[in-house]
Structure 1
């Protein structure tokens, strides 16, 4: 028997202020590049009021929190080089606009998380403007300075190009300076790294965190470049800082959420869970794109995740594995899968049923496209065809995502087979299911081993009941034979596509479909 209609299930979430569940332990989060999302005043640039105007859409989609990419004043379009940690960039609106957004989001049970860029500042920040006056300035020690001779002696002149930074020569001179020292900027000369060995720098950011949590009312932070506060040789100092930061956040607002941008091997990510509640699983993102595109589990996805979760759990049994298909730094999943709607639905099904906290990058639910450089993976959200789209941002024209290449939201909402409706059905079912919505529930292996199939179980964190998830990666229906370990399975309670059937010790999973078995 099936209960496919349970896909329509929905739950009304309580306002964040009164919710007993800390942010991140349940639900689905949604990443927004403010500049590209929705324009409320006709200037062509997305803004905070534009997001407020679209909260009903986000609530209807079923998300429990929004993560806003940087909103602080900045000279760049992306705003990852901050000039004032207490302000709102005027392109995006005012502090009152932001407080209204938070209030309206909370009324809909949606938490608000902001990007905190504490690894570096802009060279236009007042701290660096003062520091660059010379070694006698009190702000000098806010940054990392060495003379060319010291850089050479310590063999620090160059760094290896990495996935997160293409800067090979990270030491930079201040134009017109009358001193020999150079400052360190691992991303770019316009982003000088801060010195977290200097206690006043730490104290500044502890105060900044308290301000946004308590005075403004946000619910947590996404921490940019969390692994790079110190060099790799000094990585234990990173762990120590984030432990201290985590305590400050929890004391300021119990239950507030933190998620780190940390990309390395699982054993080296694990210590960050001592201070941060969540960290992004970038390796899983690559693996999902790989197996969905090949329509075969070449990566042994479940085995990989079991290994990852063991490493994380050894440090913090309540770790939150933050899952994603793409984000503002990576090629969009829509392009990686060449716009294949069936495969995009499979990727969404995996994202929303694997254990952990799923993140949707804005427009991912539409199948938006984009390949680096970064501007092209941050194109305007498509609310409607251009002639009718009064809220589409115009800061740049879409190269990959246009009304001709991607069906806009207005068109997809009226199509029951659209990608956005697939996301919507699955998210609402997930929100209604006590195990699937529990982002710290356990992953258990299934005995099912068939080509083209990904199968796994999830169990409540307390060790209670299980639910079995079976994904068909291929274009043909597959009859899946249960192993002795699945003898408790009795029926299909949800399916992403019609056509599933349960008979004795076998279940048929439709092409590109997912079934939930209890």
Structure 2
């Protein structure tokens, strides 16, 4: 059962079933794919670290297909449109730096759906015809692979659309699919996880079904082994037959509930651990990242069930830490995360399709957007860039305005479409677009390109130790990143004011002796660094003036 509260209403439900059985409906096939044999109730997770953990070394780019690029003039983005723009993301040549340099793409839902966003799936084994055909999608996978880009897709398994054939059949209480969802004869009067109404009356059978997000998204019943088996079949289909490299798991917290507890239950966490063992047996290098939107301590409980987890608290801490400014808030957040995920298996971002865009949060302040990008693109974890973030696209709620068409040019349709876009482009597209920033050295796009390429080049930025200095200037962000013989220092003035006479110190580090400075990013003159035998550095003097929002990446080379 989805939640044990069903038991409380079982007798009432049986009474209603007796009456509702007259509403007989045809049984549509939910899928043409075979259901796999049931998986064990518990499987030990694979040993850590995972083989071929390629995700630790790349930057991902989140794409809403509908809004990225329209290839045929119907106003809707599509797979062919993404193919046309792949060289913008990565041209496949590591020696060029006029592409973004990303090596992973997360595609928001690509399955057929009655909604524009796609988070209510009607068919798990095909693609949305608005976006193209399965052949188009496979071509996208192949073209991305040529450029060294791996693609993961959204996997929405907590719920389906009410228009999914499973739910259509499940409305008949005599159907084999009835128990694929959670039903009650009467409204249980138990609120959902955030105190919303989670029970919805079905007009066909007069029963109530459970759906935590809204009535159009009925939750699947993971207490039914057939549901779990089907999700395993879906997983295998996309990994083995289609060839995606993994999944972003939507709404991971809510698969099972236990009485009034409807999120983060031990059954949900165990299910993901079993699922991980299943997909790793299919493809040991498959990658999954989970949406577990809660505090760090709870999020960490899912660490054995997926390869990575999004750090929602960190995103908030970076943005607010830059806004205030408060570097210590950012540093503490990273340190807290690393206490739970010492291998760096967590994913970072500034905003996504559910949250206010960064430029809007900063009220159009491009300097703050530059600093926020610097912090998370040089920090630990696996960064995810939300499409358009790299050019400073704006967007406030409602959700449609967070997902507007990509602004490629200042021309008609913002270069997104030759037709009428499905959603109006932002009014600022004539000024804020890729073409306008493409060759501008001070643009946000240029910064994103530079930082992503530096991250690709220097492993210390990806997986190196993250060691904060103590700074005499409270609004300075000072970090030491070290891996093997790579030694990098990150410095950023988070303030709109000049910082004068700043010093940095550290009590211990893996360094000792004298190091010369090579400037990798920024413009300034720094004297050599002298670390003690114990790895300490005491009151090293930075340049006398650090300009507002100025950033540096220094490489230290042994003298």
**Could you say which TM-score interval applies, normalised by the shorter chain?**
0.7 to 0.9
- Alignment-derived partner of residue 10 in structure 1: none
Which of the numbers 464, 469, 472 marks the counterpart of 1:446? 469
Q: Give the equivalent residue in structure 1 for 2:194.
A: 161
Deviations 1:354-379 (A, max 9, x none): 10111100000000000001000001
Instruction: Tell me whether 1:226 sits opposite 2:252 in the alignment.
Output: yes
Choose which of 192, 199, 206 in structure 1 pairs with 2:218.
Answer: 192
In the alignment, the residues of structure 2 paired with residue 35 and residue 224 of structure 1 have an alpha-carbon distance, to the nearest angstrom, of 18
SS in structure 1 of the partner of residue 266 of structure 2: helix
Alignment CA distance shift 1:86-1:249 (3 Å): same
Contact preservation (8 Å) 1:473, 1:512 = yes
Distance 2:365 2:127 in 1: 39
| Separation (CA, whole Å) in 2 of partners of 1:324 and 1:478 | 31
Structure 1 segment 40-439 matched on structure 2, within 5 A = 40-59=71-90, 60-134=99-173, 136-148=174-186, 151-152=188-189, 156=190, 158-159=191-192, 161=194, 168-177=196-205, 179=206, 181-231=207-257, 232=261, 235-297=265-327, 300-313=329-342, 318-387=343-412, 389-392=414-417, 394-398=421-425, 400=426, 402-404=428-430, 406-438=431-463
Distance 1:500 1:89, change over 3 A: farther
Q: How many angstroms does 1:21 deviate by? A: 4.1
Task: Provide the secondary structure at the position in 1 that maps to 2:220.
Answer: coil
Q: State the 1:446 CA deviation.
A: 2.4
Bigger shift: residues 384-393 or 41-50:
384-393
Return the alpha-carbon distance in structure 2 between the equivalents of residues 54 and 494 of structure 1: 32
Whether the 8 Å CA contact 2:406–2:414 is kept in 1: the answer is no
Deviation of 1:268 (Å): 1.0
* Secondary structure at the counterpart of residue 66 of structure 1: strand
What are the ranges of 5 or more consecutive residues in structure 2 without an aligned counterpart? 1-50, 91-98, 530-539
Residue-by-residue CA offset, 1:124-181 (whole Å, 9 max, x unaligned): 00110111111x21111111112226x14xxx1x23537xxxxx1110111132x5x3
Quote the offset at 1:34 in angstroms. Answer: 0.4
Higher Rg of the two aligned structures: 2
Q: CA–CA distance in 2 between the matches of 1:143 and 1:345? A: 46
Q: CA deviation at 1:225?
A: 0.1
C-alpha deviations, 1:371-424, integer Å up to 9, x for none?
0010000011000013384434711113x45324x5210110021111000110
Closer, same or farther in 2 for the Cα pair 1:483/1:202, shift >3 Å? Answer: same
> Residues 388 and 78 from structure 1, CA distance in 2 versus in 1: closer, same or farther, beyond 3 angstroms?
closer
Q: Secondary structure at the match of 1:365?
A: helix
Structure 2 contact 55–382 (Cα < 8 Å) conserved: yes
1:473 counterpart = 2:494: yes
Describe the superposition over 1:176-223 as per-residue Cα deviations: whole angstroms up to 9, x where unpaired.
32x5x3110000100000111111111111111111111111101000
- Using the alignment, how far apart are the partners of 2:288 and 2:192 within structure 1? 29
- Do the aligned residues in 2 keep the contact of 1:30 with 1:359 (CA within 8 Å)? yes
**Pick from 499, 502, 506: which aligns with 2:541?**
506
TM-score, with length taken from structure 1: 0.87
Cα RMSD (Å): 2.1
Indicate how the Cα distance of structure 1 residues 276 and 449 shifts in structure 2: closer, same or farther if over 3 A, else same: farther
Deviation at 1:479, TM superposition (A): 4.2
Matching residue of 1:490: 515
Pair 1:500–1:382, CA change in 2 (3 A):
farther
- 1:28 aligned to 54, 59, 64, which one? 59
For the residues of structure 1 that align with 2:137 and 2:124, how far apart are their CA atoms? 14
Q: How far has the Cα of 1:491 moved from its partner?
A: 4.1
| Structure 1 residues 336-369: Cα deviation after superposition (integer angstroms, max 9, x where no partner) | 0112111111010001011011110000000000
Higher relative CO (CA 8 A, sep ≥ 6), structure 1 or 2? Answer: 1
Query: Helix, strand or coil for the counterpart of 2:481?
Result: strand
List 4+ stretches of structure 1 deviating above 6 A.
none
Distance 1:303 1:319 in 2: 15
**Is the Cα contact below 8 Å between 1:477 and 1:511 reproduced in 2?**
yes
Instruction: Give the whole-Å Cα distance in 1 for the aligned partners of 2:105 and 2:283.
Output: 18
Instruction: Find the aligned partners of 1:500 and 1:21 in 2 and give their Cα distance.
Output: 40
Q: Tell me the distance in 2 between the aligned counterparts of 1:497 and 1:510.
A: 11
Cα separation, partners in 2 of 1:202 and 1:388, compared to 1, 3 Å: closer
CA distance in 2, matches of 1:86, 1:102: 16
SS at match of 1:437: helix
Unaligned runs of 5+ in 1: 1-19, 163-167
1:274-332 CA-to-partner distances (Å, cap 9, x unmatched) read 010111111111111112112333x522122212221334xxxx451110100000000
Distance change in 2, residues 1:421/1:169 (3 Å): same
Contact 1:499–1:510 (Cα < 8 Å) also in 2: no
- Specify the SS of the correspondent of 1:436: helix
1:7 counterpart residue number: none
Q: CA deviation at 1:492?
A: 4.0
